[in-house]
A and B are shown apart, each in its own frame.
Chain A
Amino acid sequence: MSHSPIDPTLHTAALAGLEMAINGALRWDPGSRQKLQQLAGHVFHFQCQSPHLSLYLLPTREQLRLCAVFEGSADTTLTGSASDFAMLARASDPANALINGELQLQGDSGALITLQSIVKQLDLDWEAPLANLFGDVIGHSLGRGIRRGLSFGRRAMTGATSALSEFLQQESELLASPAQLALFYSEVSQLSMRADRLEARIDKLARSKKQQ
C-alpha cells in the first residue's frame, strides 16, 4: 500500500537529516534567513525521476521543512533527473539554467530562483544533525565518514577524469591533447592565411596578365 518504492522510514530519515543540516546552516546565516522569510508559506514540490524520489520543501519564517507527503497543492513543481537538479543547484545563472536545462517547471519560477540562491550559499555541517540523531560518538564517526567519503569522491572524480583523459590522449591516441589541438588550430590558421595570400597573389598576377 506504500506509495513510494522506498520504505517511508528511510525516506523520512534522509529528509529529517537533510532538514536538520539545512536548518543548522541557516541558524548561523541571518542573510539567508531574511531571504527565506520572503518565501514563507510557499510550497515547492521536487519530483526526481531518476532515482524516483519526491519531496516537498516548505519554508517558514525561521527554517525549512522537508516532507515526503504534503496534503495540498504546490506553488512550484519541478520535475527532472538528479543530475538536472544538481546542475540547477550549482548554476550561477539559475534563470538561464531553467530555460536551457532539462527540468520541467510548473508554477512560480521567481520563488525558485530565490530559493536556489539561498541553498547555493549554504555550507552544510553534517556532524551536528547526525550527533543529534544518533548521539555524539556515533554522530562524530558518521560525520567523519561522510566528510572522508565526500573528499574521497571528489579526489576520485578528479583522478578518474585525469586518468581517462590521459588514456584517451596518450595511450589509445583516440583524442588529441590540448597542446596538440592548439598547435593544429594554429597551423590551420596559418594555412588559411597563406591560402588567402596565395589567392591575393594569383588575383594580382591575373590582373597584371590582363593588362598586358
Chain B
Amino acid sequence: MSEPSESNSTHFGYKTVDSNAKEELVAGVFHSVAAKYDLMNDLMSAGVHRLWKRFTLELSGVREGHTVLDLAGGTGDLAAKFSGLVGTEGTVVLADINDSMLRVGRDKLTDLGLVHNIRYTQANAEHLPFPDHCFDCITIAFGLRNVTDKDAALRSMQRVLKPGGRLLVLEFSKPSSKLLARLYDAYSFSLLPAMGKLIANDSDSYQYLAESIRKHPDQDTLKDMMVEAGFARCEYYNMTGGIVAVHRGIKP
C-alpha cells in the first residue's frame, strides 16, 4: 500500500532504490547521525519532540508490571519514561535495527541508572524476534517511515502484541493547513540540511530526513494500513497542526 508499484524497488527519500538496498542506506544515515541524534532532535524541533513523546506516553496507558516494546527506540527517550512506569515488576525492551543507535541508547540509559528493567535487542521491525502475544504495548516513534516494508512491520507488531495490547505509531505526517505545509516545506528543505551540515557535518542525512517525511503515508493512509494489518479501534491524533501524528490501534 505504501510502496511504489514495482515490487523490487522502494523509495529512499525521493530516490527509487532496490528494496534490498534501502535497509543498508538507512543504516548508513543512522550510523552517521547517532552520536548527535538527541542534540539535533532538540535543535530541529525546538524541543517540541519531547512534548510529542510525552503525549504518546499518555496514550499508551502503560502501568506497573506491563511489558513494553520500544521499537526503533534509538536513543531511548521513550524507554526511559516507560522504565519508570512499568516499575520493578515490568520490562521494557528497547529495540532498534541500527547498532550505533542502540549503543548510544544503551549508554545513555545506563548513565541514567536505568538498568533493572530494560533489555536491548537489535531487531528488524519486519521480522520481530519475539514469540506471539508477549507485549502489552508497542511504540514506534519516528521509525516506521524508515522501514522498507511497512505492512510487514505492522503485521509483525500485531503478532507479538497481547490481545488487548496497543500499538502507538508516532511519526511525521501531513500538516492540515496549506500555509503551515508551505512554511514547513521551506524549513525542511532549506534550514534542516543547513543545520545538519553545521551541527553534525552531514547535510545529506538531514536531506534524506526531509524527503522521507514527504514520502511517508499520510494520516488516513497509515490508519488504513493499521486496519489492514489486523488492528481494531484505530485512531490518530494530530499534533502541531498535523506535522506529527500519533496513531493508536488495539490488537483484538
Q: In the complex, A3 Cα to B235 Cα: how many Å?
A: 10
A69 and B236 contact, CB distance less than 8 A: no
Secondary structure dominating the interface of B: helix
A8 and B237 contact, CB distance less than 8 A: yes
Q: In the complex, A40 Cα to B135 Cα: how many Å?
A: 26
Q: A70-B58, A71-B61, A133-B47 are in contact. Are A9 and B237 (CB under 8 A)?
A: no
B52 within 8 A of A: yes
Find residues 1-31 in chain A having any chain B CB closer than 8 Å to their own CB.
Answer: 1-3, 7-9, 12-13, 16
A68 and B239 contact, CB distance less than 8 A: no
A9 and B52 contact, CB distance less than 8 A: yes
B61 and A9 contact, CB distance less than 8 A: no
**Which residues of B are found within 8 Å of A8, using beta-carbon distances?**
55, 237-239
Find residues 191-214 in chain B having any chain A CB closer than 8 Å to their own CB.
Answer: none
**Which residues of A are found within 8 Å of B58, using beta-carbon distances?**
12, 67-70
* Interface footprint category on B: 10 to 19
B55 and A68 contact, CB distance less than 8 A: yes
Mark contacts of A27-57 with chain B using CB atoms, 8 A cut-off: 1 yes-contact digit, 0 otherwise.
0000000000000000000000000000000
Q: In the complex, A16 Cα to B58 Cα: how many Å?
A: 12
**Which residues of A are found within 8 Å of B51, using beta-carbon distances?**
9, 12-13, 16
Mark contacts of A63-74 with chain B using CB atoms, 8 A cut-off: 1 yes-contact digit, 0 otherwise.
000011111100
Q: In the complex, A30 Cα to B235 Cα: how many Å?
A: 42
23 contacts across the A-B interface (CB closer than 8 A): A1-B219, A1-B235, A1-B237, A1-B238, A7-B239, A7-B240, A8-B55, A8-B237, A8-B238, A8-B239, A9-B48, A9-B51, A12-B55, A13-B51, A16-B51, A16-B54, A67-B58, A69-B58, A71-B59, A71-B60, A71-B61, A133-B47, A134-B47
**5 cross-chain pairs, A with B, having the tightest CB-CB distances, nearest first:** A71-B61, A69-B58, A9-B240, A12-B51, A67-B58
A residues contacting B by CB (< 8 A) are 1-3, 7-9, 12-13, 16, 67-72, 133-134
